[in-house]
Amino acid sequence: MKPILSIGDLVADIVVSIPNLPAEAGRHQVASELRLEPGGGANFLIAGARLGQPMAALGALGDDTWGWQVADILHAESIDLAGVSHNGATTVVIVLVGQQGDHVFLGKYGHGGKIDFSPAAAALVEQAGAVYCAGYTLCEARLVELALAALRHARQMGVPVYFDPGPQMAAVPATVRDALLPLVDVLLATEDELPLVVPGGAIAGVLAAGPQLLVLKRGPAGCALYAANGLLLESPGLAVPVMDTSAAGDSFNAAFIAGRLRGWPLADCARLANAVGAAKVQKLGGGRSVPTLPEVRQVLAQFSLSLPEIL
């Protein structure tokens, strides 16, 4: 199978599990756990790899302890990092997690020299079955031009482009947003994020801006798929106990795209994505805590869902 190429958003998450949120000044708490995990786009990469999908990354990690440790973890998950350069500082996020799975993110974007869209990067795009990018990537200054160049090349080469705006799309300049949308084939977003994509957030307006397909993520309610002619299908959510929603969207995205690359019908892609999301929210944290294939199969069996063999 051809790999999914994920652009940017490689993060070092320092996960701190504490008894209570919100954390208050002058009120000290003892953490039950403190660990380093890959975050951001690394969640997406690991989730895809655990479904048996070849995954590759294009972007940057810092030439620092955080960056090399994240790289080691991703290598252990069999993710191709040939397109990742180490320079400057890694994006680092402190993730405070309460006992109820609620969380607070405190982060600082990495910095370093601008990364050019090289012939080697172009080759990675050409070899990919799909290219994926998230709004967070467009907020890291050294990656913006690289990301847009890679998406343009993907469009020229007929490689499908998937994009998740995320909440950070609000910080992306309008000029970048307007240049991006005509390059996107499939938009994966929540309803709250649609106004960040186009003013007003109307589904018809989103699809008129460039994407051919909108995958509207609805959390516990599942997802709905729209094309220019309207609603294509709705895939109901799977009722499971929720421990932590972090990385659920990344895991959903990886599963949906992996299904598409296997040539599955859209309905099966949506079911798999919902099942992977449901498996994720039952676990605490992201990174190495994204679902394994046995855990996904357990959710499928629990809800008597039959899908084409995924491994």
Distance between CA atoms of 237 and 223, rounded to whole angstroms?
7
Do the domain assignments include residue 69?
yes
Q: Look up the domain containing 274 and give its range.
A: 4-302
pLDDT at 310: 65
Q: Give yes or no for a contact between 36 and 62, defined as CB atoms under 8 angstroms apart.
A: no
- Straight-line distance from the first to the last Cα atom of the chain, in angstroms, rounded to the nearest whole number: 12
Please give the mean pLDDT across all residues of the chain. 94
Do the domain assignments include residue 311?
no
Task: Report the relative pairing of strands 91-97 and 10-17 from DSSP bridges.
Answer: parallel
Do the domain assignments include residue 156?
yes
Mean pLDDT of all residues in 5-16:
94
Do the domain assignments include residue 259?
yes
| Residue 291 clears pLDDT 70, i.e. is over it | yes
CATH number, position 34? 3.40.1190.20
Instruction: Extract the runs of DSSP E, i.e. beta strands, from the chain.
Output: 4-7, 10-17, 33-40, 55-61, 80-86, 91-97, 103-108, 130-134, 161-164, 186-190, 213-217, 223-227, 230-235
Query: How many domains in the chain?
Result: 1
Q: Tell me the torsion sign for CA atoms 135, 237, 279, 307.
A: negative
Mean pLDDT of all residues in 140-154:
96
59-99 pLDDT, tens digit each? 999 999 999 999 999 999 999 999 999 999 999 999 898 88
| Residue 311 clears pLDDT 70, i.e. is over it | no
